[in-house]
Amino acid sequence: MRLRSFAGKRPRFGQRVFLASTAVVVGDVELADDVSVWYGAVIRADLNEVRVGTRSNIQDNAVIHVDTDAPTHVGEDVTVGHSAILHGCRVENGALVGMHATVLNGAVVGEGSLVAAGALVPPGMQVPPGMLVAGVPAKVVRPVKDEERERVRAGLVHYLELKSRYLAEEEQEKELACLSDWEKLL
């Protein structure tokens, strides 16, 4: 089962949300308009809330979880890369969390910041807006460059377009299934 209520809380979705067939969303999760959650991703809000802002994408095999005293909030226009882990943290608007990166309890990834692939943002770390962090544990490396910002924006557009294509194909498949059922009745 890919959607599940827990402790009386159920996932809620805005408009034009794409949820891949193998993604799992549990409990007090809110996905805003135009969010995409890709194959194998797990968003589990069983102990606290998870909020994902408009146009954000949660890529394949990413995990978003919470702690009893630490919700997870993902802002608007955020990219969470393949196999990244967000746990009880906040990722602000326009940030990118790279592939296999981990952001732990109480950490805040500032607006427009980049967390490098494989980085570990330790509990409570405050990543300043517009900075690149890398390493284990993560350290501030430098300000994000203009060309990196542009790549992040291009990636967001790519995932929005891809999400729309997937949703359109799902709609076509539903229509074909209805036609097939109708034909069986004839």
The residue ranking higher by pLDDT, 153 or 176, is: 153
Q: From 150, 147, 109, 116, select the one nearest 130 (Cα to Cα).
A: 109
Fold of 3-185: UDP N-Acetylglucosamine Acyltransferase; domain 1 (2.160.10)
Question: Which residues 6+ apart lie within 8 Å of 176 measured at CB?
Answer: none
Residue 160 has pLDDT above 80, yes or no: yes
| CA–CA dist 75, 9 (Å, integer) | 21
pLDDT tens digits, residue range 62-101?
999 999 999 999 999 999 999 999 999 999 999 999 999 9
Residue 170 has pLDDT above 90, yes or no: no
Dihedral, CA atoms, 23, 2, 65, 118, nearest 10 degrees?
Answer: -20
The residue ranges of every structural domain in the chain are 3-185
- The arithmetic mean of pLDDT across residues 11-31, rounded, is 97
| CA–CA dist 118, 104 (Å, integer) | 13
Q: What is the structure's pLDDT at 41?
A: 98
* Of the listed ranges 9-23, 47-61, 104-118, 163-177, the one predicted with least confidence: 163-177
| CA–CA dist 11, 122 (Å, integer) | 28
Measured CA distances, 77 to 60, 141, 160 (Å): 17, 23, 10
pLDDT tens digits, residue range 35-48?
999 999 999 999 99
Q: What is the structure's pLDDT at 174?
A: 73
Residue 11 has pLDDT above 80, yes or no: yes
Q: What is the structure's pLDDT at 183?
A: 56
| CA–CA dist 24, 3 (Å, integer) | 6
